[in-house]
Structure 1
């Protein structure tokens, strides 16, 4: 049996703001209502299902990494720059305003409105280069 990722629930301070941010940054269609969630469909039918966190609830930041093409990286990174978003070449934020070149590709980290850590990479880690 092949195992395929289907969905995950993403806690958000404002589910509409976070889902809209994600779809705009990644150039995806608008999120769709699915029960209490706003579902954003990504590749292979998988989705990020944004859930409204209770008022005043602490949201533990999560890390979401996405493998993108070189052209998609350029588009997304362009949006990061246009919006003046903080971004880093590393997960610890020691290289602000930079991208990395791990495995011969490019990568960058940036926050979403709820404080989750988004990462885009053009080569899987450990793929060489």
Structure 2
């Protein structure tokens, strides 16, 4: 059996609100409840949301999508007036990037987790891409 990533535990102040945000923004199936976890299925991997009242250390989650899915997600982000950036450091607001000759965008969930939507995996365009991933230039 090949090793696969089954689930990731994600802390949230309001698990149901966070799940709704994720499913509606990313166009995923509705969440489900499993005991004290609110589950958002992303392909074969699930994000298992668990509520906490403690401060949350933001994490980064990147989602690989098709070009049409990217258009739909970006449209939802814009229509909901969710702030977004072309970079993970929030330096280039209301912009997308074209790294690896694809497209990418960053935005935050209600808990401060940084969400990234990309159409090409990191480095897939190589150094010959018109817009090489900045990580390749280091």
What TM-score do the two structures reach when normalised by structure 1? 0.95
Alignment of 1:2-81 (within 5 A): 2-44=2-44, 46-54=45-53, 57-81=54-78
Cα RMSD, aligned residues only:
0.9
Taking the aligned partners of 2:63 and 2:122, their CA distance within structure 1 comes to 11
Taking the aligned partners of 1:117 and 1:24, their CA distance within structure 2 comes to 16
Taking the aligned partners of 1:41 and 1:85, their CA distance within structure 2 comes to 22
Is there any run of 5+ residues in structure 2 with no aligned partner, and where? 130-138
Taking the aligned partners of 2:3 and 2:97, their CA distance within structure 1 comes to 30
Taking the aligned partners of 1:58 and 1:88, their CA distance within structure 2 comes to 24
Structure 1 runs of 4+ aligned residues shifted over 2 Å read none
Shift of 1:3: 1.6
Shift of 1:4: 0.8
1:105 aligns with 2:102: yes
Q: Please identify the structure whose Cα radius of gyration is greater.
A: 2
Alignment of 1:115-126 (within 5 A): 115-126=112-123
Shift of 1:2: 1.9
Shift of 1:81: 0.2
Is there any run of 5+ residues in structure 1 with no aligned partner, and where? none
The one-character-per-residue Cα deviations of 1:50-87 (angstroms, maximum 9, x if unpaired) are: 10112xx1100000001000010000000000011110
Secondary structure class of the residue paired with 1:51: strand
The one-character-per-residue Cα deviations of 1:2-35 (angstroms, maximum 9, x if unpaired) are: 2211100110011011001000011112111111
Aligned length: 126
